[in-house]
Structure 1
Amino acid sequence: MANYQKRDMGQVVDDIQVKALKTLIENADSQDWREMWATRDIMQQNGHSHKPYRGANQIVLTANAFDRESKDPRWLTFKQAQEEGLSIRKGAKSEIISFYTSLYQVDKKDKNGNLVFDANGKVEKEIVKGKPTLRYFNVFNGEDVVGIKPFQTPNHSPEELTEQRKVAFARAEALINDWSKDKNLTIREFPNKDAFFQFDKEFSKGAILLPVRTQFDNLEAFYTTAFHELAHSTVLNGIRTKDELSPENTKLTFGSKAYAREELVAELSALYIAQELGINTNKSDLNKASFAYIKDYYEGGQLTDKDLSIALKDAQRAANTLLQYVPELTLENVLSAEAEKVKQADLTAKAEEKLSQELAQPEQTAKISKLAENYALLEKELSSNGWSPNAQGEISFVTKENGEDYAYKIEREINSPNAMSIFVTRNGERIDTPKDNIHATITAYQDSNLVQLMAENIVNHIGKDLAELNASNPKYVEERVETLRDNLENDRLSVSGLAAMSSNSPLSEE
């Protein structure tokens, strides 16, 4: 600790957390690492209370346990070990955890400023709120604690695990419903390959589109994706760090530094919330894929150490904001039918029942099947025109005009649940505004004959858009306009990995 005291402790903690986050990003594809931070029973925990650590502290201790190959997730302070009659192995290295608090215990005084004493003559204490202050502790891993009983992973019966999932999903459903109602946020499930969040320019309202939960391998994957999009929606609360990359000050164009950081914020927030609710993110391949994208962003230079530091703080703010909407449910009141009715805890079962009823209607089933078929046909038609869908099913391409890169992508209208409605974006922005002199929104109702026309119109609209971009720059008119149409048909327009993460979107396309 001597070296730490010579520096600002806040900076020391920040450096430790950023280093740990790098470890997470670099090892997100490691099964051992993923199990450590995704499985609640073996998450890093307080060895005295056995409660899992939260947020950045969980990342810091998981990274250290991973590096030292520790199989014991318990951590104790020197004082806690002493109080339990244990000791610390000589030469053991501690790790620093921290948190901010604005609550302080002080001597209680009456209205005249005099100390208040209890019946035994001791000064009474009270909790007061003050300026947030950083507090930190040195903790030792269980493998360095002498005399502690070996750690044993809890052995839950299949019935217990099933009931634990019920509780977790009920709380997740309550979070989604209560947050969306409070923020007037539109949330829809729709037969769609992508999930994304969109908001208006005034940051006053937004909408989230999620694939139908039956499209996911399991409910864990569905809720993890939902948490990611909910985290994006907290921009409506204005809780992001205010700098040149904050959503209020820049456009979140796909692949940009601002976009990369916002993706990291959303992914960390989703991880924090899932951990808190006891939802096992290790079951979600989407989560693994998302961190793979973030790893590419980091290695590509879009994320600096400063960005990682800000993302950690913003992710915790977002998670804390959302977790306020999680009810304190217990296993008992979920199992009790009467308690479920009173507390409305069985939201997951109700949602699944509603979905089943909808899908059971022949008319609705036909619509969903037809929409899915039409989207597949659209991909096929565009493929014949030089486009191809990426691994996430997004249809996009990039081209260079006037020395600048232009990224085009097909987006889906969130307000068209019963129709096939799309629009085109260029570098993340719709290209149907007057300034672009182009209207790229094309809607095809349940008629597959229109899908081919839709694909042709998209290609034509993009051609006109690129021609206008050229025309706006006389320097390139003579050498480029004459060959524009030929170029559009060449392999120059190829997909180049423009996928937003499978859980990400127009904030992100998520």
Structure 2
Amino acid sequence: MEYYGIESYSDAQVKKLGLVGLSGLGKIVSSGTKSSIYDIITERIIEIIQSNDNLVWRKSWTTNKEGQPNFPMNYSSKLNYQGFNGYFIKWQMVAIKHDCPYFMTYKQVTEKGGNIKKGAKAYTACFYTRDLYRHLQTGKTITAIKYKELSNSEKANYQQSFTLKVYNIFNANDIEGIKFDEKWKGVAVSKKEQIANCEKIYTKMPNKPQLHFGGDRAYYTPNFDSVQMPNITDFKIPQEYYSTLFHELVHSTGNSERLNRKFGKGMNDPQYAFEELIAELGASYLCGHTKIDYFTLNNSAAYIKNWKKSVVEELRANNKAIFKAASDAQKSCDYILGKLDKEIYRKFKGKVETPKVGDKSRPVFSKSLKLREEKERLKGDVLMLTIRVKKNAKFKEKLALELDKYLKTLNGLSGLDSELTSLKAKKKFLTNLLKGDNDDFRVIGRRVGLSYRTSPIKKK
């Protein structure tokens, strides 16, 4: 059983796994205090994010000798850590600079006749216990043994309680006396193999969204269940195209007929930032699965700086956010890879035939869909052009204010066609303004006492 993407164990399972009474671990979460495990884990993640030059989840998931990605694994059970633990342990590997993905608990090490190296740094993993039952009215808890003694009517007043606890695991690099296999060591994967693996992600995805090409922006449109991508030739390298595609495919799993997530209404909506975090985490997982490094279309230092700021703010505002995001990202990837229960896929009713990735042919759209997609592209174009104009030294602060006033006069009446008309007018005006040949500039310039200069803006 999982909760927040983290395995939960009964009291008997906890004892069998040796996860009790170790170095003061297993401390019960107190959700109303700063010392809660949620806070401790969140602060640890923030520390890792802030001390890393890049976004920590973009570090490559290396590939082993068997051609499989090196996701963290419990060496005794030979099972990969899933959900939050999978991501969290990987981020700790990045911070500690370990490359071997094998881990064991202290008990597992001693049972195998091994020892922990002196000065070794333990990794943190999490689990939920489900040995308590909480009364729905009073909030008081009782043990599983007491719960079994209740009548059926009394049991109806209780709900199983999940308690977050943590435990230590140790990396193979810090373990002596145990001979680990070397299957994890990397193997070269050709570019041809990488691309073939990436192609399969979309072509084999169950209930995949429509995929369209063109323009210079990538986005998912929930209302039409479609992913818009620039052509693959517009990217510097193919891996960059696929990592961007993976980001949008993770978004698409939030559709109401797939995993039904809330997308948020804009950049200032916390739900929007949370969904972006899910897509970022999911894309990194799929890049590891397809044996490519995690490239991104927005890998500038400014982008990373802004992401760090927004991610840290979101994590501090909600100490359970990273647990939920990692869980949703894992589930999204499992959906894309066809690993979930078949009943989940059967709920989908909007499946449509789509062209293959890389195919530049476009299906026939209805007029409404064409107009709406054009509107989305124009909005992005107008935003980028406005930013370029305002950042240029020739356009001072007062001129920027007049520019905003002028652009508002171009707003059309309500309705799709009139909105498109105003967007087209704005794009044309801004494009000409950058070229230095727009008559309207003279009018705006005179309002703030600036003379019109014909010299075009220099390209960066």
TM range (shorter): 0.5 to 0.7
CA distance in 1 between partners of 2:313 and 2:404 (Å): 18
Match of 1:189 in 2: 213
TM-score w.r.t. the length of structure 2 is 0.57
Unaligned stretches of 5+ residues in structure 2: 1-22, 132-143, 145-159, 340-352, 363-376, 434-443
Match of 2:41 in 1: 16
CA distance in 1 between partners of 2:451 and 2:272 (Å): 28
1:144 and 2:148 matched: no
1:295 and 2:305 matched: yes
1:70 and 2:98 matched: yes
Match of 1:280 in 2: 292
Q: What's the CA shift string for 1:254-279, capped at 9, x where partnerless?
A: x666554443332122223433x334
Out of 242, 266, 272, which is 1:252 matched to? Answer: 266
CA distance in 1 between partners of 2:181 and 2:58 (Å): 19
Out of 421, 437, 447, which is 1:441 matched to? Answer: 421
1:29 and 2:54 matched: yes
Q: What's the CA shift string for 1:329-374, capped at 9, x where partnerless?
A: xxxxxxxxxxxxxxxxxx99x936x728x59xxxxxxxxxxxxxxx
Deviation at 1:319, TM superposition (A): 3.9
Counterparts of 1:418-429 in structure 2 under 5 Å? Answer: none
Match of 1:371 in 2: none
CA distance in 2 between partners of 1:256 and 1:489 (Å): 40
CA distance in 2 between partners of 1:28 and 1:407 (Å): 40
Out of 87, 92, 97, which is 2:125 matched to? Answer: 97
Letter matched to residue 269 of structure 1: G
| Contact 2:220-2:228 within 8 A present in 1 as well | yes
- Pairwise CA RMSD: 5.7
1:326 and 2:343 matched: no
Deviation at 1:209, TM superposition (A): 0.8
Match of 2:239 in 1: 220
* Percent pairwise identity: 22
Change (3 A) 1:102 1:388: farther
1:178 and 2:207 matched: yes
Change (3 A) 1:59 1:260: same
Deviation at 1:252, TM superposition (A): 0.6
Deviation at 1:162, TM superposition (A): 5.3
Match of 2:276 in 1: 263
TM-score w.r.t. the length of structure 1 is 0.52
| Contact 2:247-2:282 within 8 A present in 1 as well | yes
Letter matched to residue 79 of structure 1: K
Letter matched to residue 328 of structure 2: R
Out of 198, 205, 209, which is 2:221 matched to? Answer: 198
Deviation at 1:310, TM superposition (A): 1.6
| Contact 2:104-2:170 within 8 A present in 1 as well | yes
Out of 324, 333, 344, which is 1:313 matched to? Answer: 324
CA distance in 1 between partners of 2:277 and 2:115 (Å): 39
| Contact 1:28-1:34 within 8 A present in 2 as well | no
Deviation at 1:317, TM superposition (A): 1.4
- The count of corresponding residues between Structure 1 and Structure 2 is 358
Letter matched to residue 178 of structure 1: N
| Contact 2:72-2:86 within 8 A present in 1 as well | yes
CA distance in 1 between partners of 2:413 and 2:226 (Å): 20
Q: What's the CA shift string for 1:91-120, capped at 9, x where partnerless?
A: 5443221256999xx9xxxxxxxxxxxxxx
Deviation at 1:437, TM superposition (A): 12
Letter matched to residue 41 of structure 2: I
| Contact 2:124-2:168 within 8 A present in 1 as well | yes
Letter matched to residue 236 of structure 1: N
Letter matched to residue 321 of structure 2: I
Unaligned stretches of 5+ residues in structure 1: 107-129, 181-185, 241-245, 329-346, 360-374, 391-396, 409-423, 445-451, 461-480, 495-510
Change (3 A) 1:299 1:325: closer
CA distance in 2 between partners of 1:233 and 1:164 (Å): 23
1:455 and 2:428 matched: yes
| Contact 2:57-2:284 within 8 A present in 1 as well | no
Deviation at 1:21, TM superposition (A): 5.0
Could you say what secondary structure the match of 1:317 adopts?
A: helix
Change (3 A) 1:147 1:101: same
Match of 1:232 in 2: 251
Change (3 A) 1:4 1:454: closer
Could you say what secondary structure the match of 1:5 adopts?
A: coil
Deviation at 1:320, TM superposition (A): 0.4
Letter matched to residue 19 of structure 1: R
